Amino acid sequence: MSYATTINETHDPELTSWVESANQENCDFPIQNLPFAIFRRAGTSEAFRGGVAIGDMIVDMAAAKGCGIFEGVAQAAASACDAPQLNGLMAMGSEAWSALRLALSRALRNGSDAQSKLEACLVSQDDVEYSLPCQIGDYTDFYTSIYHATAVGRLFRPDNPLLPNYKWVPIGYHGRSSSIDVSGQTFRRPKGQLKAPDAAAPTFGACKRLDYELEIGIYIGKGNELGESIKLDNADEHVFGLCLFNDWSARDIQGWEYQPLGPFLAKNFASTVSPWIVTNEALAPFRTEWTRDEADPQPLDYLESEANRTKGGFDVSLEVQLETEKMREAGEPASHLSLSNFRHSYWTVAQMVAHHTVNGCNLRPGDMFGSGTQSGPEHEEAGSLLELSRGGKEEIKLDNGEVRKFLEDGDTVIMRGWCAKEGFKRIGFGEVTSTVLPADQ
What are φ and ψ of residue 105, in 5° steps?
Answer: -60, -50
Max Cα distance, the chain (Å) = 74
Of the candidates 351, 393, 396, the residue with the CA atom closest to the CA atom of residue 372: 351
Which of the residues 148, 238, 355, 356 is marked catalytic? Answer: 148
Residue 165 CA to chain centroid, in angstroms? 25
Reply yes or no: is the peptide bond before residue 84 cis, omega within 30 of 0.
Answer: no
Contacts for 397 with CB less than 8 Å, ≥ 6 apart: 403
One-letter amino acid at 362 equals N
148 noted as active-site residue: yes
Rounded-to-integer distance, Cα 146 and Cα 424, Å: 29
Residues annotated as part of the active site? 148
